[in-house]
Amino acid sequence: DTEVTQTPKHLVMGMTNKKSLKCEQHMGHRAMYWYKQKAKKPPELMFVYSYEKLSINESVPSRFSPECPNSSLLNLHLHALQPEDSALYLCASSPRGKSAGNEQFFGPGTRLTVL
């Protein structure tokens, strides 16, 4: 099973809402990632968890809060977002921690619209 799943597929939220994005993988991978992708741009790294510990935070605003409850799950909690946060949010995982040689496997993404 080489699949990363993400829910929901689409999300529309107001600027005062709190919502969460979920990501799951059952490949035994030990690193998980959140990326943000705006239209016609490459993905931008937000967070990396390696062996369930937050390893990299790319100076992401605190209105985005990641959580890794266990090795298979990754959440992204959203609060007080701005319209410019509207984007495709991609989750990825890689087999052996965050080391350079790992390929990352991506989920289908959550398309987020902030009104």
Partner 1 sequence: AQKVTQAQTEISVVEKEDVTLDCVYETRDTTYYLFWYKQPPSGELVFLIRRNSFDEQNEISGRYSWNFQKSTSSFNFTITASQVVDSAVYFCALRSGGSNYKLTFGKGTLLTVNP
Q: Indicate whether 108 belongs to the interface with partner 1 (CB under 8 A).
A: yes
Taking a C-beta distance cutoff of 8 angstroms, is the pair 22, 73 a contact?
yes
**101 binds partner 1 per the rule CB under 8 A:** yes
Number of H helices, E strands in the chain: 0, 11
Q: H/E element holding 45?
A: strand 44-50
Binding track, positions 24-53, relative to partner 1; x by CB under 8 A: ----------------xxxx-x--x-----
CB atoms within 10 A of CB 93: 27
Which position among 7, 57, 82, 99 is part of the footprint of partner 1 (CB under 8 A)? 99
Question: Which region, judged by CB under 8 A, interacts with partner 1, from 11-19, 60-68, 75-83, 101-109?
Answer: 101-109
